């Protein structure tokens, strides 16, 4: 939620800091870049110092970053504070997932992942309306101050309830891999963010994107010849893990684009206020929460392959439905379409996040977790960049200002891209992940 909560508050923050909302979008980018740089090292940190200790320290860093955001008095200090927040967030999410995987019996992992996926679904949708509400009725500073007591409680609960079960691994840090992966992920995320949200001239975004791609290629070459690389790419030799990451990344292109396109369409095409559009888009979060209660039984009944392939089609179809919305469309139809889309995306996220660990041994989970987290961040950033590029090209070709038809085109294209995940999931073995879903394997 914190990566999106300031989006509707940018004008107020910019006015207070004496800068422009366009320039302040660097704070959004700084947060994402910090995530991209430090997520790859989270697995090594968990092995070296213990997942519980790193998790609590990550919350503390996030709290300090939040407080620094609240007291910032310039664009520079605010961007730096957001980057510090991102550093804490980079450790929190993958290490938190790693703790769940290590502490949960395999036959209960689907249910655990279902609950763990709820914040990932609700956060991007809840951030803008909550940020708008706080900024409207209080001041933008409270967006960050409220994190302080919540973070302190989080540190206390983690210390009280999370067991110390780690066998620490004193593995030497792959500094070359850290530098290359950091440059690669940061370059890609920063470049795509700047291109789609023009806070800087386009050539800056294209240049950093090129640097990111080159660094990523160099990291792949480096990892192939190192005994203990920072991110162990040999995990992709496992078909189930590979399908989970690749198929999930293709699908997330749409998930990254929809929160960008939908509120903008409601405001530009429908004339709604930011708060009204935020409340409409939040409908899909209701569907996401609802599906969590039926995820385990559905995977047990139909298996991962069939469930994920079906959800990919349903979710792509729901994205396409957004392309038919007009100001005259009854709200109850919009509610139902967004609700169905939330259900499909929720089930697919739960399945993908669980399936990725089906055939990964316990001593490799600290390697698998940052890989999946990096793939998630990059695919979401690409999704936003694709959506922004579609709107730009559509308005340019048709020679008019941004209007409703441009959003319709964007949703149709994004739906096709997301639907391609079906072909990745359908090639799975029908029994893939049966030890996690509880579904009895076929008799051979």
What's the rounded mean pLDDT across residues 56-60? 94
- pLDDT confidence band for 394 (50 / 70 / 90): confident
Instruction: Please identify, among 134, 149, 168, the residue that sits at the C-terminal boundary of a domain.
Output: 168
Q: Are residues 81 and 126 in the same domain?
A: yes
Q: How far is CA 343 from CA 189, 284, 315, in A?
A: 28, 7, 8
Closest CA to 96 of 414, 422, 369, 440: 369
Contact in structure between 226 and 177 (CB atoms under 8 Å): yes
Q: Are residues 83 and 206 in the same domain?
A: no
Q: What is the pLDDT of residue 180?
A: 92
Q: Are residues 103 and 252 in the same domain?
A: no
Q: What is the pLDDT of residue 63?
A: 94
Q: Are residues 5 and 91 in the same domain?
A: yes
Q: Are residues 343 and 376 in the same domain?
A: yes
What span, in angstroms and rounded, lies between the C-alpha atoms of 98 and 50?
11
Q: Are residues 251 and 278 in the same domain?
A: yes
Q: What is the pLDDT of residue 14?
A: 80
Instruction: Please identify, among 168, 193, 212, the residue that sits at the C-terminal boundary of a domain.
Output: 168
Q: Which domain holds residue 219?
A: 174-229
Q: What is the pLDDT of residue 34?
A: 86
Instruction: Please identify, among 125, 141, 168, the residue that sits at the C-terminal boundary of a domain.
Output: 168
Q: Which residue is listed with tokens 């399945």?
A: 351
Q: Are residues 209 and 236 in the same domain?
A: no
Cβ neighbours of residue 138 under 8 Å, at least 6 residues apart? none
Least confidently predicted of 102-116, 214-228, 262-276, 285-299 = 285-299
Contact in structure between 269 and 280 (CB atoms under 8 Å): no
**Does the pLDDT value for residue 444 go beyond 60?**
no
Q: What is the pLDDT of residue 165?
A: 64
- pLDDT confidence band for 274 (50 / 70 / 90): low
What confidence tens digit (pLDDT) does each residue in 288-339 have? 677 666 777 888 888 888 889 998 999 899 999 999 999 999 988 988 888 8
Look over the chain and give the mean of its residue pLDDT values, rounded to a whole number.
83
What's the rounded mean pLDDT across residues 175-197? 82
- The pair of structure tokens assigned to 92 is 């929190």
Most confident by average pLDDT, 67-76, 277-286, 343-352, 425-434:
67-76
DSSP secondary-structure letter at 370?
Answer: H
Q: What is the pLDDT of residue 125?
A: 65
Q: What is the pLDDT of residue 298?
A: 82
Q: Are residues 292 and 224 in the same domain?
A: no
Q: Are residues 113 and 79 in the same domain?
A: yes
Least confidently predicted of 63-77, 225-239, 307-321, 381-395 = 381-395
Q: Are residues 297 and 203 in the same domain?
A: no
Our CA angle for 180, 186, 190, nearest 5°, is: 150
Q: Find the distance separating the first CA and the last CA of the chain, reported in whole Å.
A: 46
Q: Are residues 404 and 266 in the same domain?
A: yes
What confidence tens digit (pLDDT) does each residue in 230-249 have? 888 888 888 989 999 999 99
Domain at 148, CATH number: 1.20.1250.20
Q: Are residues 306 and 388 in the same domain?
A: yes
Total domains in the chain come to 3
């Amino acid at each position: 939620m914190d990566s999106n909560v300031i989006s509707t508050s940018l004008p107020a923050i910019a006015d207070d800091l004496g800068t422009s909302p366009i320039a302040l979008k660097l704070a959004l980018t700084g947060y994402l870049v910090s995530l991209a740089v430090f997520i790859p090292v989270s697995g090594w940190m968990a092995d070296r110092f213990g997942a519980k200790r790193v998790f609590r320290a990550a919350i503390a860093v996030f709290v300090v970053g939040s407080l620094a955001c609240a007291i910032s008095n310039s664009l520079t200090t605010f961007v730096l504070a957001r980057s510090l927040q991102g550093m804490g967030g980079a450790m929190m999410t993958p290490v938190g997932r790693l703790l769940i995987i290590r502490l949960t019996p395999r036959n209960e992992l689907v249910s655990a992942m279902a609950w763990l996926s709820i914040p990932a679904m609700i956060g991007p949708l809840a951030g803008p309306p909550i940020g708008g509400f706080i900024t409207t009725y209080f001041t933008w500073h409270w967006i960050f101050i409220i994190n302080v007591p919540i973070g302190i409680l989080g540190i206390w609960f983690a210390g009280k309830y999370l067991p110390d079960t780690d066998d620490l691994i004193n593995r030497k840090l792959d500094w070359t891999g850290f530098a290359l992966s950091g440059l690669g992920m940061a370059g890609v995320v920063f470049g795509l963010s700047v291109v789609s949200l023009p806070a800087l001239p386009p050539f800056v975004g294209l240049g950093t994107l090129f640097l990111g791609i080159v660094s990523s290629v160099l990291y792949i070459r480096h990892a192939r010849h190192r005994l203990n690389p920072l991110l162990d790419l040999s995990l992709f030799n496992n078909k189930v893990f590979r399908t989970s990451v690749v198929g999930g990344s293709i699908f997330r292109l749409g998930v990254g684009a929809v929160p960008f396109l939908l509120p903008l369409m409601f405001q530009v095409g429908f004339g709604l206020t930011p708060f009204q559009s935020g409340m409409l888009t939040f409908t899909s979060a209701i569907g996401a929460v609802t599906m969590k209660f039926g995820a385990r039984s559905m995977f047990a009944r139909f298996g991962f392959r069939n469930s994920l392939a079906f959800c990919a089609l349903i979710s792509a179809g729901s994205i396409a439905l957004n392309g038919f919305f007009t100001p005259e469309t009854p709200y109850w139809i919009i509610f139902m379409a967004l609700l169905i889309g939330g259900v499909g995306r929720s089930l697919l996220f739960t399945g993908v996040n669980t399936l990725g660990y089906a055939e990964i041994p316990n001593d490799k989970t600290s390697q698998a977790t940052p890989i999946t987290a990096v793939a998630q961040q990059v695919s979401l950033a690409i999704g936003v960049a694709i959506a922004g590029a579609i709107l730009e090209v559509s308005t340019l070709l048709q020679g008019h200002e941004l209007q409703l038809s441009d959003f319709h085109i964007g949703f149709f294209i994004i739906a096709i891209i997301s639907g391609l995940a079906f072909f990745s999931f359908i090639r799975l073995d029908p029994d893939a992940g049966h030890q996690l879903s509880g579904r009895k394997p076929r008799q051979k």
